[in-house]
Amino acid sequence: MGSDLRLWGQLRADKAGMAGLLVVAAYFLLAVGVWAGMLGQDWSSAGGDRWASPGAEAWFGTNLLGQDIFQRSIYSVRTAFEIGLVVSVLSTLLGAILGAVAGWYGKTWVDGSVLWLAGVLDSIPFYLFVAAVAFALQGKPWAMHVAMVATFWTGTGRLVRAEVMKIKSREFILSARAIGLPDLVILARHVLPNTGHILLIQASIVFVAAIKTEVILSFLGLGVQDGVSWGLMLAESTQEVLAGHFNNFIAASAMLFVLLMGFNQLSDALQDAFDPREAAL
């Protein structure tokens, strides 16, 4: 309890981190509003005039097809959070499991196999890998998720492996082994809970990486298949910018920039709060 209060107190003292937390919370409320059907539901409606200026009916104007840019940018918040949450949770969970197993059985064929797999995945050009996965899955909407989860776990896995190799030599782990607890029980009950700070920080970092990757992939036509995202809006704006219309580009870029800045500030604050050197001061 005391440790949690210290962490929260340190996070509150970080003004940039608190600002990032407020930004992320505001975006999350927008995503909840979209999930609840209260916001962004007319994102696909093309009832407006083509390239209309911002006004009461369309706050950010309309795009080439007469669709409301504000509605589309708000609905894209849901897309960003869905992709970020799915990829960050699954890749962090996969990295935690493989990293913990590799660290527990360090310097064995199990450890070597996990490191070899991580090395192979890191050596493959990411976007080439995504294209191969998308082709193999015949354009399934979750092909992008599979590709990101399959590659983003490696960083988490290496960090968890290193932490587990330190934890397993501590007295409480040696005592658990001495009384005959199975390895899986020790890993689940005593080892992995002590890597929670790493998993939380890595999840926030992967969340940001997943959103940025989705934008790039959607811009290239390999991402979101049914729906709308900031990446698709940026892809649309390539034609509009040439015609002198920048509303689509500015709206998508600004929404993306603010969310990523907020998450980056929050991630930095979490890293500082969990820094053992800070705790010793």
- Residue 62 pairs in a beta bridge with 68
- pLDDT band, very low/low/confident/very high, at 106 (cuts 50, 70, 90): confident
| The amino acid at 214 | E
Given a contact cutoff of 8 angstroms between Cβ atoms, the answer to whether 264 and 107 are in contact is: no
Q: What are phi and psi of 68, to 5 degrees?
A: -70, 115
Question: Higher pLDDT residue, 47 or 198?
Answer: 198
Per-residue confidence band for 275, with pLDDT thresholds at 50, 70 and 90: low
The full set of domains in the chain, from first to last, is 2-44+60-279 (1.10.3720.10)
- Predicted local confidence at residue 253, as pLDDT: 92
Which SS3 state, helix, strand or coil, does residue 108 take? Answer: coil
Higher pLDDT: 51 or 212? It is 212
pLDDT class of 87 with cuts at 50, 70, 90: very high
Please, are residues 27 and 269 in contact by the beta-carbon 8 Å criterion?
Answer: no
User: Residue 171: its pLDDT value, please?
Assistant: 84
Q: 131 or 277: whose pLDDT is higher?
A: 131
The reported pLDDT for the residue numbered 154 is 92
Query: What is the percent of the chain with per-residue pLDDT over 70, rounded to a whole number?
Result: 92
Cα 6–chain centre separation: 26
pLDDT band at 258; cut points 50, 70, 90: very high
Is residue 64 classed as helix, strand or coil in its secondary structure? coil
Mean pLDDT in residue range 126-143: 76
The listed range with the strongest mean pLDDT (44-48, 134-138, 152-156, 233-237) is 152-156
* Helix-helix angle 196-220:143-167, to 10 degrees: 160
> For the chain, first and last CA: distance in Å?
18
